[in-house]
């Protein structure tokens, strides 16, 4: 394919090579911090708010949660394998670009970028619900918006202070959120009442439609399992630690999510759960019969949500930074301050703030609407990542280790099927807005390439090495 190359465009390494960031400075995050980044990003306010979002479907949503957990674990194993094969920061962006070329990589980076800042808006909306256990208890819109903006901009300031503050903050908030969650989940298992669960399928739809719709919402709980791979360039010994952190973090989150959601359904009457803005607080009140219990859980949710926002504020800037390094996003996303991508953090926080303000003033179901939008845009990078793994195994996977190839191919196909299932369950409105937002990237891509005077693959990848030099299929 002919192309015109801008001689001023910087040369970049291809995605199959270690990212420059990992070769120019030692990783900041060890295994514990990388695991805390995964857990801290996944367990934000989702676990604290989702029982209310799932309540309209009834206990059948627990079936959806189990299916989503299985799919999330398949994705975690896929990311573990991909992180070894394609090192460097960028995660799904790198995997799509290596397998399918620049444009696929750009669309994944664009889509994931939307996921991250839209997801921050969803996290902060749920976070506000727990902050309002203490302040703005009458839930005025102006008060809620102000609290949400504080919840978005304080994490941005923590990130701009440097990587060391982020690492310490993630470990501390992860510990603080786990203790009350495990306490409520463990004690609550012995205090559940069947009468609280209500009708098994309260949606009025068929069982399959209810499971699909609830599954799309439940998937929001697991957004973030890929964060260690996105920030791989900042992890020490990424070939070892990124995959372990991804799998360990996903397993820990799965235990907390499934038991916690079950306990809330079993301890809070279904009618009360439908209108609750802080379901875990209501569950703690019911368990201990005292206001201090609910406020303790509310405080844990505030800490948890803030920790998740700190982690996601870093991640939201890592993806465009990786794409900018390869010339697919504007170079301004490479601007750093104290080792963090400052421009990406500020831009994404502004966008999340605008979406939050619009959501509070335009949507009745604020949390659910923003959740479905971010889920849809996240499924696209998940789908491409699973497809990249299947594509690689089907073309270069080692045939002399058939049992391992069959195992990894089964996991990759499961992750791919799960991604398609999650995509179709997002709902017509989310699909409309999400698709529109994703395809806004096409004119942005054309504009960026035209400014660089590039046509086609500006940085073509070398031919994939033979299996013997890549090692066994993992």
Task: Assess contact for 423 and 379: CB atoms under 8 A.
Answer: yes
3-class secondary-structure state, position 202: coil
Per residue in 182-224, pLDDT (tens digit) is 777 888 888 888 888 988 898 888 898 889 888 877 887 787 7
Residue 347: half-sphere exposure toward Cβ, Cα within 13 Å: 19
Per residue in 278-293, pLDDT (tens digit) is 788 888 888 887 777 7
Residue 211 has which token pair?
């499971």
* Backbone φ and ψ of 339, nearest 5°: 85, 0
User: How far apart, in Å, are the Cα atoms of 318 and each of 20, 81, 350, 445?
Assistant: 13, 20, 16, 18
* Dist CA 55 CA 275 (whole Å): 9
**In this predicted structure, what is the pLDDT of residue 26?**
46
Neighbours of 457 (CB within 10 A): 13
Residue 317 has which token pair?
């800037």
Per residue in 249-269, pLDDT (tens digit) is 888 888 888 888 899 899 999
Per residue in 166-188, pLDDT (tens digit) is 666 666 777 777 777 777 788 88
Greater model confidence, 320 or 28: 320
Q: How confident is the model at residue 411 (pLDDT cuts 50, 70, 90)?
A: very high
Is residue 187 exposed (0-12), middle (13-18) or buried (19+ Cβ within 10 Å)? middle
**In this predicted structure, what is the pLDDT of residue 385?**
93
Greater model confidence, 8 or 325: 325
User: How far apart, in Å, are the Cα atoms of 109 and each of 104, 319, 404?
Assistant: 9, 6, 30
Output the 3-class SS for 96-156. Answer: HHHHHCHHHHHHHHHHHHHHHHHHHHHHHHHHHHHHCCCCCCCCCHHHHHHHHHHHHHHHH
User: How far apart, in Å, are the Cα atoms of 59 and each of 40, 62, 270, 283, 412?
Assistant: 27, 5, 9, 16, 29
Greater model confidence, 244 or 266: 266
Is residue 142 exposed (0-12), middle (13-18) or buried (19+ Cβ within 10 Å)? exposed
Question: Quick check: pTM over 0.85?
Answer: no
In the chain, domain spans: 32-460
**In this predicted structure, what is the pLDDT of residue 223?**
77
* Dist CA 98 CA 81 (whole Å): 14
Displacement of CA 60 from its chain's centroid (Å):
24
- Residue 305's nearest CA partner among 434, 133, 89, 104 is 133
The class (CATH top level) of 32-460 is mainly alpha
- DSSP for 14-66, written as a single string: -TTSPPHHHHHS--SB-HHHHHHHHHHHHSSSHHHHHHHHHGGGTTHHHHHHH
């Amino acid at each position: 394919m002919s192309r015109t190359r801008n001689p001023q465009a910087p040369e970049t390494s291809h995605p199959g090579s270690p990212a420059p960031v990992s070769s120019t400075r030692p990783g900041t995050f060890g295994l514990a911090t990388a695991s805390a980044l995964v857990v801290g990003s996944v367990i934000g306010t989702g676990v604290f708010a989702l029982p209310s979002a799932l309540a309209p479907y009834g206990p059948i949503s627990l079936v959806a949660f189990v299916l989503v957990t299985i799919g999330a674990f398949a994705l975690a194993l896929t990311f573990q394998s991909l992180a070894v094969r394609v090192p460097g920061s960028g995660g799904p962006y790198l995997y799509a670009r290596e397998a399918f070329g620049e444009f696929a990589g750009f669309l994944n980076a664009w889509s994931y970028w939307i996921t991250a800042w839209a997801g921050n808006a969803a996290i902060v909306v749920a976070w506000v619900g727990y902050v309002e256990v203490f302040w703005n208890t009458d839930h005025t819109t102006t008060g809620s918006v102000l609290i949400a903006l504080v919840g978005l901009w304080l994490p941005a300031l923590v990130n701009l202070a440097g990587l060391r503050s982020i690492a310490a903050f993630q470990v501390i908030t992860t510990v603080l959120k786990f203790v009350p969650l495990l306490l409520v989940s463990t004690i609550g298992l012995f205090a559940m009442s069947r009468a609280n669960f209500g009708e098994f399928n309260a949606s009025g739809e068929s069982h399959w439609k209810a499971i699909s719709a609830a599954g799309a919402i439940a998937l929001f709980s697991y957004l973030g399992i890929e964060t260690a791979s996105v920030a791989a360039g900042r992890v020490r010994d990424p070939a070892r630690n990124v995959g372990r952190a991804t799998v360990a973090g996903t397993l820990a989150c799965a235990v907390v999510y499934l038991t916690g959601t079950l306990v809330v359904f079993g301890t809070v009457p279904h009618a009360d759960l439908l209108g609750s803005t802080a379901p875990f607080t209501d569950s703690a009140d019911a368990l201990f019969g005292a206001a201090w219990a609910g406020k303790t859980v509310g405080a844990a949710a505030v800490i948890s949500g803030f920790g998740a926002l700190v982690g996601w504020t870093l991640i939201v800037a890592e993806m465009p930074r990786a794409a900018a390094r390869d010339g697919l996003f504007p170079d301004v996303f490479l601007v750093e301050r104290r080792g963090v991508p400052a421009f990406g953090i500020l831009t994404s926080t502004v966008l999340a703030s605008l979406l939050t303000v619009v959501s509070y003033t335009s949507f009745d179901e604020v949390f659910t609407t923003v959740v479905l939008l971010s889920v849809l845009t996240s499924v696209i990078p998940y789908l491409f990542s699973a497809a990249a793994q299947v594509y690689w195994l089907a073309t270069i996977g080692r045939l002399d280790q058939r049992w391992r190839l069959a195992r990894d191919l089964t996991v990759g196909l499961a992750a791919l099927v799960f991604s398609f299932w999650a995509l179709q369950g997002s709902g017509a409105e989310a699909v409309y807005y999400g698709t529109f937002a994703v395809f806004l990237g096409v004119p942005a891509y054309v504009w960026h390439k035209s400014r660089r005077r590039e046509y086609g693959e500006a940085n073509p990848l070398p031919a994939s090495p033979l299996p013997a030099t890549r090692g066994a299929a993992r």
